[in-house]
């Protein structure tokens, strides 16, 4: 339990001095918070919840002028501040002890840092390298000659296949598969013949990849995920895709082979990207968009085929009016005989 004053000090917040001693028991969503809890206000769409919240305190922007029964702690970025406050009540789990679990299988030809942790039932194949302080979660597999950098975290049941390379501080959540075969076949005489996938995957520093996402190895050369990129659950990245630095790729995005994605690109949920195209730096592709051509840097597109967001909104409005317009035309035709 912490006071309003203590929490405000953690995030550089301003608060009513007469409420400094109010006790806070933990964080909660704005609509569900109970007395004694703290939440945050990050978007005007939640103004109604602010007026009715039962939270004792709420983190708000410094210029907040709305109504709320809660104590307002004014900060520069309520969402970021809420994350730091949540950490005060829910500290990060203790680091796993270094060493190799007795049930793990580590080939004598692998190089595992003495500071690394290899958990129960994990497999580390010949020639693999595990960097200092990295954790190989229970049931995970690191393939032949794969390289895992320092301070990486592979949660349970992750697969990093042969020859793939991870930089430092990479996080792979449960069920991630790095280096699965690319989807490539030649059709001859009515049968599909597999094309050898002899490349690998290179993942830069500080990348995080969500549960059950797959990144295919290159047919030849490399599939690349750039430094600082964050990828959600259930994303499919095909062979020879190049993704730049600090991109955000949301759930159920699919990127076809040999496409190049620039730096600071955002791909919203369920966007589908055809192969062999280029998406420029800082472009934003809206949810459920189908992209089949190159995208200019800083473009803001949505739809299938994608178009600028303003144009897409106007088109949607017109489509919604088609039934009404049809009836009007029908009546005009009847009057005209």
Residue 318 lies in a domain: no
Q: How does pLDDT run across 302-332, given as a tens digit for each residue?
A: 999 999 999 988 988 898 999 999 999 999 9
Assess whether pLDDT exceeds 80 at residue 279.
yes
Indicate if the pLDDT at residue 55 is higher than 90: yes
> Does residue 115 sit in the same domain as residue 238?
yes
CA distance 89 to 87: 5
Percent with pLDDT over 90 in the chain: 92
Rounded-to-integer distance, Cα 163 and Cα 31, Å: 48
Catalogue the active-site residues: 239
Contact 26, 37 (CB under 8 A): yes
Q: Are residue 116 and residue 69 in the same domain, yes or no?
A: no
Residues 115-138: what's their mean pLDDT? 98
Same domain, 72 and 105: no
Whether 82 and 110 share a structural domain: no
By DSSP bridging, strand 185-188 and strand 191-194 are antiparallel
Which residues neighbour 13 within 8 Å (Cβ) at sequence distance 6 or greater?
A: 7, 59, 73, 74, 75, 81
Distances (CA, A) of 12 to 4, 55, 71: 12, 20, 15
Q: Which residues of 278-305 are buried (b: 16+ CB within 10 A; e: fewer)?
A: ebbebbbbbeebebeeebeeebbbbbee
* Domain co-membership, 84 together with 111: no
The model's pLDDT over 225-235, given as tens digits with 9 standing for 90+, comes to: 999 999 999 99
> What is the total count of domains within the chain?
2
Other Cβ atoms within 10 Å of 63 Cβ, number: 6
What is the extent of the structural domain holding 226? 99-307
Contact 167, 184 (CB under 8 A): no
């Amino acid at each position: 339990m912490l006071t309003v004053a203590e929490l405000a000090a953690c995030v550089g917040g301003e608060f009513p001095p007469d409420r400094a001693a109010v006790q806070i028991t933990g964080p909660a969503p704005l609509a569900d918070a109970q007395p004694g809890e703290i939440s945050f206000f990050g978007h005007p769409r939640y103004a109604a919840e602010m007026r009715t919240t039962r939270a004792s305190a709420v983190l708000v922007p410094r210029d907040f002028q709305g109504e709320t029964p809660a104590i307002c702690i004014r900060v520069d970025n309520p969402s970021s501040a809420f994350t730091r406050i949540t950490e005060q009540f829910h500290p990060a789990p203790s680091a796993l002890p270094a060493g190799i679990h007795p049930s793990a299988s580590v080939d004598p030809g692998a190089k595992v840092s003495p500071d690394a942790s290899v958990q129960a039932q994990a497999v580390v194949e010949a020639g693999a390298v595990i960097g200092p302080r990295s954790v190989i979660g229970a049931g995970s597999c690191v393939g032949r000659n794969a390289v895992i950098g320092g301070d990486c975290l592979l949660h349970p049941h992750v697969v990093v296949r042969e020859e793939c390379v991870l930089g430092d501080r990479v996080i792979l959540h449960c069920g991630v598969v790095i280096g699965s075969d690319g989807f490539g076949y030649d059709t001859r005489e009515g049968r599909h013949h597999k094309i050898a996938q002899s490349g690998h995957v290179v993942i830069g520093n500080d990348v995080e990849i969500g549960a059950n996402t797959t990144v295919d190895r290159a047919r030849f050369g490399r599939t690349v995920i750039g430094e600082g990129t964050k990828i959600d659950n259930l994303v499919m990245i095909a062979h020879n895709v190049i993704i730049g630095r600090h991109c955000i790729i949301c759930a159920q995005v699919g990127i076809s082979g040999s496409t190049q994605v620039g730096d600071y690109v955002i791909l919203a949920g369920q966007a589908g990207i055809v192969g062999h195209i280029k998406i420029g730096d800082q472009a934003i592709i809206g949810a459920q968009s189908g992209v089949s051509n190159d995208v200019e840097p800083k473009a803001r597109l949505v739809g299938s085929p994608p178009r600028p967001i303003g144009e897409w909104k106007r088109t949607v409005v017109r489509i919604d009016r088609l039934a009404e317009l049809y009836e009007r035309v029908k009546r005009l035709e009847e009057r005209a005989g």
